[in-house]
Amino acid sequence: MTNTWQDIKNANVVVVMGGNAAEAHPCGFKWVIHAKIENHAKLVVVDPRFTRTASVADVYAPIRPGTDIAFLNGVIRYLLEKDLIQHDYVRAYTNASLIVKDGFGFEDGLFTGYKEDTHSYDKTSWDYELDGQGYAKVDDTWQDPRCVINLLRKHVDRYTPQMVSSICGTPQDKFLEICALFATTAAPDKAMTSLFALGWTQHSVGAQNIRAMAMVQLLLGNIGVAGGGMNALRGHSNIQGLTDVGLLSTSMPGYLVLPKDSEPTYKQYMATRQYKPLRPGQVSYWQNYGKFFVSLQKAIYGDAARADNDWAYDWLPKFDGGGYDIIRAFEMMNAGQMNGYICQGFNPMQAFPDRGKIRRGLSKLKFLVVMDPLDTETSRFWENFGPQNPSDPAKIQTEVFQLPTTCFAEETGSLVNSSRWMQWHWKAADPPGEAQTDIWIMSGIFHRMREMYRKEGGAFPDPILNLTWSYTNPTDPDPEELAKDMNGRALADIKDPTGTVTQHAGQLLDGFSQLRDDGTTTSGCWIFSGSFTEKGNQMARRDATDPREQGLAPNWAWSWPANRRIMYNRASADPNGKAWNPKKPIIEWNGSHWAGIDVPDFVPTIAPSESAGPFIMNAEGAGRLFARDQMAEGPFPEHYEPFESPSPNLLHPKVKSNPAARVFADDRAAFGSAADFPYVATTYRLTEHFHFWTKHALINAILQPEEFIEIGEALAKEKGIGQGGWVRVSSKRGFVVCKAYVTKRIRPLQVNGKATHVIGVPIHWGFTGQARKGFGANTLTPSVGDANTQTPEFKAFLVNIEKASGPAT
Amino acid sequence: MTPAEGNVVRYATVTRVNHWITAICFVLLTLSGLSMFHPIFFFVSTLFGGGQWTRAVHPWIGIVLVLSYAGLVAQSWRENLWNPDDTAWVRKFDRVLENDAEGVPEVGRFNAGQKSVFWAMALLIPVLLFTGLVIWEVYFSGFTPLVVQRIAVLVHSLAAIAAILVWIVHVYAGIWVRGSLRAMTRGDVTPGWAWRHHRKWLRSLAEPRSAGPDPRAERAP
Amino acid sequence: MTELQSQDYIRRSASTLTPPSARRHEQEVAKLIDVSRCIGCKACQSACMEWNDLRGEVGHFEGSYDNPKDLDPNTWTLMRFTEWENDKGDLEWLIRKDGCMHCEDPGCLKACPAPGAIVQYANGIVDFNSEACIGCGYCVKGCPFDIPRVSQKDHKSYKCTLCSDRVAVGLEPACVKACPTGAIMFGSKSDMTAWAGERVEELKSRGFKNAGLYDPAGVGGTHVMYVLHHADKPSIYAGLPDSPQISPFVGLWKGAVKPLAVAGIALAAIAGFFHSVVAGPNEVQPEDEAEGRRLLDRQDDAP
């Protein structure tokens, strides 16, 4: 989230699209209700189904799964055509005025630079026209046809209300009603918040879904302000923390990037990281990349990371090309290229697409280590559970180790919530049986492996042998010790620019501004720096005092970065430093520095007159309506159909789906066609359950006991399916036999003139736990991911449905 | 049991047993029913082992009563059929109440009062049975809508009260008409009792080839 | 809890004694369920199960999100979902938390034959005292909202207690505490009524012309009230009674019939007694015996 949960109450319009906040985030949803009651906010829900969120919405519009970009580009077109944008904000704080290179273009569904053979782009043309000093050229009058706003205008021109309705199936009147409501927040003192989750990420165009809304928000001046922002509602209590510490195959902690094969030296690696400002006077904070990186290396390797060995750069893995995401991992397992799997706190048998492929992959492993508090489907994949898991143990040679772990209440530590708050929690109960903390288990594995490397050598022992590991109890490091590692400490006395020593050697750092690239500081995750200082554990703070009751509570826990609650909050003030919304200011220029109720997301002493942009992580200091080379499939979002879709791409029939997506050949072969699988399916969560965990809890099992799918009344009638009757839902990859909920909440959509039926598949049931056995929605879903993140396309695929005579046998 | 010397057999042993099963059930039902009907009677539930036991046992006693009464009906429904004499008897009921036989028609085996009791119970017991089943929470509460149960519980109590009133009349009649109790305990009545209260019946017994119980059967040497 | 708070009683089932009502000065409480803010998350349901330590059966999917399918001895509150199309043709998903309404004039208490099995406290809460319950199910028939459920295990009737144990020590009911959107609120009845008024005004401003408070007069008002967007037709909310009152059948049964029946029985007995006093017993006279014997003997003499 750019903002906080509590800040939602400041919104005038709340749009829930690409998510189902009431259903999946009921506790956080209280702030939407606050917005409605205290701020008279309007709630807009756009969803294929009439959800629990829709049940309290002011406006609901249906949409075909996987067509959000068409909808949002239509919104952008509406805003630009009717000139309902926040002009001063867009002009000053976005890259609308910057001029794009002549070579850039878009034709027939492809941006310039497409390489058919690799399904990727040469992105050199996706950039600004630079002047002699290396600064982007600008036309503040927006007359130049090559300036971003005009290219955007041209790009979205095709997304007329008729076209939007034809692609999305959304009735035009509902679409226009929603556009008009969004547009009301273009007023400087009005804000709209966008709440989204997996409904946007789990698409082959997931990242672009989010970008499209971010652009709407920039045009309306809703980023950085109270009640605004792009707010990703995270699905697990610590999934934000997972991303923050870089548990992705191409990431390192703090959103640093793992080196590639093509960056064999530290120098080469750094050449493309320290972004030089693209406009005069910009902060371009990534210029400090080296400080973050060196401090990270010092945290990992301690004294072994030295200037003369490029801070142990050579010991980092270098990834080759696409990254080792989970889709690729299972592809490799199936190909026999990956033989061992340590599965920590993850249940791919339920959580990853094409369950058959997952099962086949696990069956080919030599060993599988599962670390989980629960008896997961993954740990029992080899066992026959009837039709729900038809494995034959005699034919599976995988050795499975189940290592029971503690759950959150049985351990001390921190969780990062959607608001980026790092909240410390304390152990409440002893774990049952032989369960141990993940830290204890990983320490044990580490010590044994290091011992083996020490004794037996090996191909490349250095990264293991040189790992720094100085904890009071080396076999079970204390969570506080680890938290201090993350925060970082001074290795030598640290001086501020005036020469005063701010931190003595050995002391914990106050924040990332103290990090150095000369090896005198460590920090395991630079954005967490400041969370555990000499003043104590900031994450453990529990002071709920909230200045002006604006939902910031700055002394409650600690929010990265720098305890800042609202990102880009410089943009809450106009170019002169006065709040756009005088009733809800966040920071303002007081004549000498920026001050207010939040930590400024800005250099506090840069005056408005210096015209530095508020988006300090971007080299141009501006919010990007044009993404330059940051996205895989183009600098503007474009509508591409899901990989399984019943409709042609009405905009460019030749380029139907995301041209930059990586699709493995066997996965492509497992895509079904609309001829065989005529119905659009989408998966989702229900309030009663948390993923695949709470089916192990009796109360949750009682509240939602058995697998079902949802279909509209029209399709049910056509297929002779009765309320609660048995059905068989199949995709090219597998089938599910379960009960049907025939509902008014899903209605056929008119797509390209044809009635398109949507089938909803909740995901929660498996073959372990207290609830009734189920097949699992991932039996049906296709193995294809977003072109940028490889997040699987769970939200739009094709199925067939037939009436079944009874439960599967 | 052997009837007393010179007496007339009025009720066969099976009938007497049947009657007393019915009577005991009725008394227990009345006690348990009333305890669940009005708080002033709730203390009676103690006799049954408390409220829970009272609630549990009442319907089962009811079932026994229904079966038992069905036996009585089977045995004597013919003799309880209404005839014109009964109507005449009812017209003279004021005299009956005054213990004055003057002008009261001769009575067969059962008088109109007895027949009324018989038929009243024959009507009320099925009503109690069916309404009772409807409100028998343990087994049948799920079979009918609440509104039916509400009507049933009202009808059940009204029918029960009616039955209790009938029973009071019946019991009092047995006390009031001396010698009657013996008919149900010992099975016989004196010829004088029969002459006084059921003269027509006695006459029929006296007929040769009478179909009724042989009045002298037990008197034979 | 009930026995510990007997001085709180203002009503006590099957009792001819006047309840103490010692704490009549206590404020009446109310739970206000704002249906327009409810997202049907069932947090209230699970909180109820947790606080009261109840676990029902893992059931089946039965064609709706209502799970368990109905109230039962282990399910004292239940979300009921209704898909309803309004006059504009737009769908509304009406979600109502069902459970005991804690009527001011409780039909269950009126119907209950077991002394003290159902009580009403000065704060308005209607509570079941399982110790005294005999399992007859009369409360089920007495309730205008079809709430109590008799257990097949221990044959006692159960329903929401409005967390009388929590309220007695100054806590809010568990469902109220758990509700994430503040759709369930708890306080004095007057405060809740006033707050409901504000909510109704807000809903009206959003176009719900018939928004209103559900506090039905037919049962003397309730200590669980709803804010409804369509207060003109409560029954669209999964059969919430439009104008609930204690059934006239129950009213008659527990009203006029009770004293009249007792009086009738007493009168019948007294009438018999006085008849006996006035008319005396009907005794067989010696001449009757003579006549009877003569008749029989005649027959004996017949050929």
Residues of C in contact with A60 (CB under 8 A): 90-91
Model confidence over A706-757: pLDDT tens digits?
999 999 999 999 999 999 999 999 999 999 999 999 999 999 999 999 999 9
Model confidence over C229-271: pLDDT tens digits?
999 999 999 999 999 999 999 999 999 999 999 999 999 999 9
Got the DSSP string for A394-428? GG---EEEEEEB--GGGS-EEEE-TT-EEEEE---
Please tell me the predicted confidence (pLDDT) of residue C33.
Answer: 98
Q: What is the DSSP letter of A770?
A: S
The domains located in chain B, with CATH, are 9-77+89-205 (1.20.950.20)
> Residues A181-200: what's their mean pLDDT?
98
Helices (H), chain B: 13-35, 51-76, 84-91, 93-97, 112-134, 137-140, 146-176, 180-185, 191-197, 199-206
**What tokens does B146 get?**
């609440």
Q: Which residue of C has its CA nearest to A695?
A: C58
Distance CA A215, CA A78 (A): 13
Model confidence over A486-540: pLDDT tens digits?
999 999 999 988 989 999 999 999 999 999 999 999 999 999 999 999 999 999 9
Please tell me the predicted confidence (pLDDT) of residue A227.
Answer: 97
**What tokens does A406 get?**
């503690």
Residues of C in contact with B97 (CB under 8 A): 275, 279
Q: What is the DSSP letter of A605?
A: T
Q: What is the DSSP letter of C125?
A: -
- Nearest-neighbour CA in chain C from A395: distance (Å): 34
- Nearest-neighbour CA in chain C from A140: distance (Å): 41
Please tell me the predicted confidence (pLDDT) of residue C22.
Answer: 77
Which pairing describes strands A754-756 and A749-751: parallel, antiparallel, or unpaired? antiparallel
- Nearest residue to A799 via CA among A710, A722, A713, A723: A710
Please tell me the predicted confidence (pLDDT) of residue B205.
Answer: 86
- Nearest-neighbour CA in chain C from A180: distance (Å): 17
Location of structure tokens 């046992």:
B57
Which pairing describes strands A192-196 and A13-17: parallel, antiparallel, or unpaired? parallel
- Nearest residue to C144 via CA among C75, C218, C212, C81: C218
Model confidence over C139-170: pLDDT tens digits?
999 999 999 999 999 999 999 999 999 999 99
Q: Give the phi and the psi of residue C252 in degrees, each rounded to 5.
A: -65, -45
Nearest to C293 among B165, B179, B191 (CB): B191
Residue C24 touches chain B, beta carbons under 8 Å:
no
Please tell me the predicted confidence (pLDDT) of residue B214.
Answer: 54
Q: Give strand pairing partners of A501.
A: A495
Check CB contact under 8 Å for C134 and B54. Answer: yes
Distance CA B22, CA C59 (A): 45
Location of structure tokens 């490091």:
A477
Which pairing describes strands A42-46 and A13-17: parallel, antiparallel, or unpaired? parallel
Distance CA A176, CA A182 (A): 10
Residue B146: count other Cβ atoms within 10 Å of its Cβ: 16
Within A713-774, strands assigned E span 726-731, 734-743, 749-751, 754-756, 758-762
> Are the beta carbons of A56 and A33 closer than 8 angstroms?
yes
Residue C61 touches chain B, beta carbons under 8 Å:
no
> Residues A247-266: what's their mean pLDDT?
94
Distance CA C177, CA C155 (A): 30
Chain C partners (3+ C-beta pairs within 8 A) = A, B
Please tell me the predicted confidence (pLDDT) of residue C302.
Answer: 53
Query: How is chain A split among helix, strand and coil, in percent rounded to 5?
Result: 30, 20, 50
Is pLDDT at C293 greater than 80 in this prediction?
Answer: yes
Check CB contact under 8 Å for C38 and A708. Answer: no
Q: Give strand pairing partners of A100.
A: A128
Distance CA C130, CA C138 (A): 14
Residues of C in contact with A771 (CB under 8 A): 58
The reply to whether omega before A792 is within 30° of 0 (cis) is no
Check CB contact under 8 Å for C261 and B190. Answer: no
Please tell me the predicted confidence (pLDDT) of residue C19.
Answer: 80
Residues of B in contact with C136 (CB under 8 A): 36, 55, 137
Residues of B in contact with C14 (CB under 8 A): 39, 42
- Nearest residue to A758 via CA among A725, A708, A710: A710
Is pLDDT at A799 greater than 80 in this prediction?
Answer: yes
Residue C131: count other Cβ atoms within 10 Å of its Cβ: 11
Is pLDDT at B217 greater than 80 in this prediction?
Answer: no
Residue B43: count other Cβ atoms within 10 Å of its Cβ: 10
Residues of C in contact with A56 (CB under 8 A): 36-39
Interface A-C: count of C-beta contacts within 8 A:
111
Please tell me the predicted confidence (pLDDT) of residue A94.
Answer: 98
Check CB contact under 8 Å for C261 and B216. Answer: no
Q: Give strand pairing partners of A741.
A: A710
- Nearest residue to C77 via CA among C94, C58, C99, C55: C99
Q: Known catalytic residue: B170?
A: yes
Location of structure tokens 């282990």:
C74
Nearest to C253 among B51, B157, B194 (CB): B157
**What tokens does A426 get?**
């304390």
Model confidence over A551-600: pLDDT tens digits?
999 999 999 999 999 999 999 999 999 999 999 999 999 999 999 999 99
Is pLDDT at B211 greater than 60 in this prediction?
Answer: no
> Residues A280-308: what's their mean pLDDT?
96
Please tell me the predicted confidence (pLDDT) of residue B213.
Answer: 53
Q: What is the DSSP letter of A97?
A: G
Nearest to A705 among C39, C61, C90 (CB): C61
- Nearest residue to A489 via CA among A539, A523, A519: A523
Distance CA A425, CA A736 (A): 40
Distance CA B113, CA B118 (A): 9
What is the average pLDDT score of chain A?
96
Helix/strand/coil for C255: coil
Model confidence over C91-140: pLDDT tens digits?
999 999 999 999 999 999 999 999 999 999 999 999 999 999 999 999 99
Q: Give strand pairing partners of C226.
A: C33, C214
Is pLDDT at C24 greater than 80 in this prediction?
Answer: no
Check CB contact under 8 Å for B99 and C280. Answer: yes
Residue A755: count other Cβ atoms within 10 Å of its Cβ: 14
Model confidence over A749-797: pLDDT tens digits?
999 999 999 999 999 999 999 999 999 999 999 999 999 999 999 999 9
Model confidence over A346-368: pLDDT tens digits?
999 999 999 999 999 999 999 99
Residues of C in contact with A23 (CB under 8 A): 39, 41
Check CB contact under 8 Å for C60 and A705. Answer: yes
The separation between CA A183 and the C-alpha centre of its own chain, rounded to angstroms, equals 26
Distance CA C25, CA C222 (A): 18
Check CB contact under 8 Å for A702 and C182. Answer: no
What length does chain C have?
A: 303
Check CB contact under 8 Å for B178 and C281. Answer: yes
What length does chain A have?
A: 809
> Are the beta carbons of A307 and A519 closer than 8 angstroms?
yes
Q: Which amino acid is at C117?
A: A
Please tell me the predicted confidence (pLDDT) of residue C154.
Answer: 94
Residue C151: count other Cβ atoms within 10 Å of its Cβ: 15
What is the average pLDDT score of chain C?
93
> Are the beta carbons of A304 and A463 closer than 8 angstroms?
no
**What tokens does C275 get?**
């008849």
Binned at pLDDT 50, 70 and 90, residue C303 comes out as very low
Nearest to C40 among A50, A55, A700 (CB): A55
Q: Please enumerate residues of C whose Cβ is less than 8 A from a Cβ of A.
A: 36-43, 45-46, 49-50, 55-65, 67-68, 83, 85, 90-95, 180-183, 199, 202, 205-206
> Residues A313-323: what's their mean pLDDT?
89
Flag whether A touches B (3+ CB pairs, 8 A cutoff): no
Binned at pLDDT 50, 70 and 90, residue B210 comes out as low
Please tell me the predicted confidence (pLDDT) of residue B1.
Answer: 60
Distance CA C19, CA C10 (A): 5
Distance CA A390, CA A356 (A): 10
Q: Give strand pairing partners of C224.
A: C31
B19, B58, B156, B170: which is the annotated catalytic residue?
A: B170
Helices (H), C143-285: 164-168, 174-178, 189-205, 248-254, 257-279
What length does chain B have?
A: 221
Helix/strand/coil for A601: coil
Nearest to C247 among B37, B141, B150 (CB): B150
Residues of B in contact with C137 (CB under 8 A): 135, 137, 141
- Nearest residue to A89 via CA among A99, A101, A79: A79
**What tokens does A441 get?**
């288990």
Which pairing describes strands C118-121 and A558-559: parallel, antiparallel, or unpaired? unpaired
Distance CA A705, CA C121 (A): 37
Binned at pLDDT 50, 70 and 90, residue B219 comes out as very low
Distance CA A705, CA C8 (A): 41
Is pLDDT at C1 greater than 50 in this prediction?
Answer: no
* Most distant CA atoms of chain B, gap in Å: 66
